[in-house]
Structure 1
Amino acid sequence: MKITLKNNVRTTMASRDITMWKDLAERLKNNQDYSITRTSLARQIEQETPAYSLSLIEALCNELQCLPNDLFRIEITDATADDIRNLTRREKPFEFGHIIEADSATSKESPATNADSASQQQDDFDDEDELVGGRVSHQNAGSIRKREK
């Protein structure tokens, strides 16, 4: 089986009604704290096989509200029907990666009440997560980095 990744950023941009490089560059700078000129952005995205940095992929995913696999079109050749079936039947978008829902809400409730409600909320989501995978929320890359420090 051979897997080839093709650039799909333009399609993802268009599906979000973003047609100009200038608009995306401004949104990345203002919303994601990722500075890039429209020329550099266009040059990177228009390449047949771009070399994206992880920080650019992160900023694009946060701004376009997508997962990294939406930025690429995957072409599979030399694969059996079973290989294809096994890949497409995955319940979660990543085999080894994880999507983690961050608790961004700060509550003024007592710790015991907060823990009870978090436990109940987790119980409510367990079955659904098994079916559809984790949740993704629109996050600013800068705020995520600050929270990790």
Structure 2
Amino acid sequence: MTEWVSLPCPRPEAAIRLFCLPYAGGGSVEYQQWADLLPATVEVAPVHLPGRERRIRQQPYTVMKELVADLADGLEPYLDRPYALFGYSLGAWVAFEVARSCAGGSCTGGSSSPVRSCSRRRGRPICRAIPPPTTCRTPHSSPGWSGSAALTG
């Protein structure tokens, strides 16, 4: 459907689709085996970012706002059921920003707002409901900040 997502073990009857975003410099291969570890009610959907793995020849993003907008567009064909976003480290930040963007109305798929955003820095994953976009201020919404150091570092 899009170059952003793969479905290593398609589960058309799954109740929820779990989009998994890698850490800075990492790839989606880390999430390929999760389909075997999670119940059949969850369809694992690893996210493939430019500049990594099968998209290695593509230019990676250096501006968070641009990545979030393009990724949200790339996810739209997959928003036909409830979904959650999981990210590790930088992937957690990207997942959170995509979740906020979709909750704010930028995603128009069938299930446009995620049910959860989960992140992991160390220890157990933390899952939260998505706050409305107007209640959070993030570094990329601050004047003069492009996010290039975080995205390329």
Please say which structure displays the higher CA radius of gyration: 1
If each structure's helix is expressed as a fraction of its own residues, which one has the higher value? 1
| TM-score, scaled relative to structure 1 | 0.24
Specify which structure has the bigger relative contact order, considering alpha-carbon pairs within 8 angstroms and separated by 6 or more residues.
1
| TM-score, scaled relative to structure 2 | 0.24
